[in-house]
Amino acid sequence: MKELLLIFLPLAGSIVALSWPSERTRPQLLPAVSLVHSVLAIWLLLDPPVVAPGAWLGFDPLARAILPAVSILFFVCSAYAVPYLRTRPERPNRVFVSVLLAMLGLMSAAHQARHLGLLWIATEALTFAAVPLIHFSGTSRAFEATWKYLLIGGTGIALSLLGSFCLGYASVKGGGSGDLTFAALMAQGRALSGPWVLIAWVLLLVGYGTKMGLAPMHTWKPDVYGEAPGIVGAILAGCVTTVAFTALLRVRAVVDAAGYGATAGRTLLVIGLFSMFVAALFLLGTRDFKRMLAYSSVEHMGILVIGAALGRVGVWAALFHVWNNGFIKGTLFLSAGNIRRAAGARTIDEVSGMSAITPRSAAIFVTAMLAATACPPFGPFFSELLIVRTAFATGHGASAGIFLVCLLFAFFGMTRLVFAIVDGRPRAAARLGGRRFGETAGVILPPLALLGLSLWLGLATPAVLRDSWAAAAEQIFPVL
């Protein structure tokens, strides 16, 4: 029952938000609903329900391993949304609040979807729901970003539907009864028609990979993350991408059961390394600190799929990294949003000396940047270390080498850009902006809380989380 509430409570909240009369109090719905959502999600994490084997929806180990992270990140972002929307009184927030809540419900549905078709429906609805958030600023640049998001994202979504159909056909061709739950597909195992499974894998990898933002399907990401408000970037990078990652993990389990696990692993490894490589190159070149965050997200998506390529321990590390990446991306986007508002610009040609104008946000931004580039003792260091160690242990030494080189270049690229905007002499425009958009507790505490969570995950990963990741890894690679 609680697991269904995770889906329907935010959806109901979304409808309430649509009909809520007051512009001023409407944003309060966001933290109210998402706080209940987080409590429910953590409750389910501590006390997992029994999932019926044939159920289409269920809080299974994989959902348990990721959904609480999504829920917590969303709650912190929604606490930030209240003061943020107060700084933008000129834009009506009815659609913004309603869509954010709907997205929370759809993400809960997608993470809990145990049926191929249902998973696609939730992901697709999520993709289109995000559109009004991207052009919230209403500038022509924002519409350009939205158009690219729609065309590339729409094509990706269409290809993942085709892939889902192909996987369904693999089952029907192999004598299946048309039951497209992942459990049934895995039970069919080697009876699935091989060529169709491989076609489906390629299409689903490209389709959901577009949603995740893996190179070379990442091109929408810098535009969208650059133009959307910081809070939207945080939710897209930390929450929405995990939906596509879960989808890939679930499909990967079926491909594995069909006997093509080695092929799936190789393709994931290649596409992951390529994503990291492309991201590192662009991180060295970009001059815009919000686009930088997008490339950093591409890099971390690459790290996730590399983890998923490396067997059970790798999946464990990848799930750990989902949490770390979510919290750190949230910190980065929220603090970057504060800096950008005060500075009124986003490139190193126009912004400098922000440590004098927004000292707290700048400090959080620099710390989070170091955490994102895998500096201990924050969480990402530990999950990435585990992925490297697993790569060496499973005989992927060359891949681990490329992985480390890409991390190094990403570090160079990000430090170059971040210190350029933080240090130096502040611009005149920023002095004005800094007075107008002060660093209130409402916009400082949320990113600080996320940073603290990441530190906590790194120093003392709770045992219940470790267990949940282990159970999820076992769901992907069942013990025979």
Partner 1 sequence: MERWCPVTEWVNLLVGLAMGLNLLALGSSRLPSVIRAMAVQGVVLGLIPVLMEGRFEWLVALMAAVTVLLKGFLIPGLLRRAMRAANIDREIEPLVGYVPSLLLGAGGTIVAVAVTYRLPLLPEHSHTLLVPGSLATIFTGFILLICRVKAISQVCGYLILENGIYLFGLLLVRSTPFLVESGILLDLAVGVFVIGIIVDRIQRAFDSLDTRKLTVLRE
**Min separation Cβ 7 and partner 1, Å:** 14
> Which residue in 118, 187, 284, 363 binds partner 1 (CB under 8 A)?
118
Report if residue 90 touches partner 1, rule: CB under 8 A.
no
> Which residue in 3, 227, 299, 384 binds partner 1 (CB under 8 A)?
227
Write out the two tokens for 111: 């993470």
Select from 112-120, 182-190, 234-242, 435-443 the region that touches partner 1 (CB under 8 A).
112-120
Burial 67-99 (b: 16+ CB within 10 A, else e): bbbbbbbbbbbbbbbbbbbebeeeeebeebbbb
Report if residue 165 touches partner 1, rule: CB under 8 A.
yes
> Which residue in 177, 395, 425, 479 binds partner 1 (CB under 8 A)?
177
Nearer to partner 1, 349 or 462 (CB): 349
**Min separation Cβ 227 and partner 1, Å:** 7
User: In sequence order, which residues have a C-beta less than 8 Å from that of residue 160 and are 6 or more positions away?
Assistant: 120, 123, 203, 204, 206, 207, 208, 210, 211, 247
Sign of the alpha-carbon torsion through 139, 439, 38, 20:
negative
The answer to whether the CB of 265 falls within 8 A of the CB of 310 is yes
| CA 108/CA 111 separation, integer angstroms | 5
3-state SS, 199-262, equals HHHHHHHHHHHHHHCCCCCCCHHHHHHHHCCHHHHHHHHHHHHHHHHHHHHHHHHHHHHHHHHH
Select from 63-71, 145-153, 229-237, 263-271 the region that touches partner 1 (CB under 8 A).
145-153
Give CA separation, 73 vs 62, 77, 242, 250, in Å: 18, 6, 12, 23
Amino acid occupying residue 351: V
Select from 32-40, 272-280, 285-293, 397-405 the region that touches partner 1 (CB under 8 A).
285-293
Give CA separation, 297 vs 108, 240, 275, 327, in Å: 21, 12, 10, 12
**Min separation Cβ 477 and partner 1, Å:** 27
| CA 395/CA 460 separation, integer angstroms | 29
The count of residues interacting with partner 1 (CB under 8 A) is 49
Interior angle at CA 103, CA 290 and CA 246, nearest 5: 80
Select from 37-45, 170-178, 327-335, 368-376 the region that touches partner 1 (CB under 8 A).
170-178
Report if residue 207 touches partner 1, rule: CB under 8 A.
no
**Min separation Cβ 194 and partner 1, Å:** 8
Amino acid occupying residue 199: I
> Which residue in 20, 96, 277, 282 binds partner 1 (CB under 8 A)?
282
- Residues numbered 408 to 437 that lie near partner 1 (CB under 8 A) are none
**Min separation Cβ 261 and partner 1, Å:** 21
**Min separation Cβ 298 and partner 1, Å:** 13
**Min separation Cβ 350 and partner 1, Å:** 15
Report if residue 125 touches partner 1, rule: CB under 8 A.
yes
> Which residue in 13, 58, 105, 176 binds partner 1 (CB under 8 A)?
176
Report if residue 154 touches partner 1, rule: CB under 8 A.
yes
Give CA separation, 456 vs 140, 323, 459, 466, in Å: 41, 11, 5, 14
> Which residue in 47, 50, 178, 463 binds partner 1 (CB under 8 A)?
178
**Min separation Cβ 221 and partner 1, Å:** 11
Query: Can you give the binding site for partner 1, defined by CB under 8 A?
Result: 115, 117-118, 120-121, 124-125, 127-128, 131, 135, 139-141, 143-148, 150-151, 154-155, 157-158, 161-162, 165-166, 168-169, 172-173, 176-178, 180, 193, 195-196, 222-223, 226-227, 282, 285-286, 291
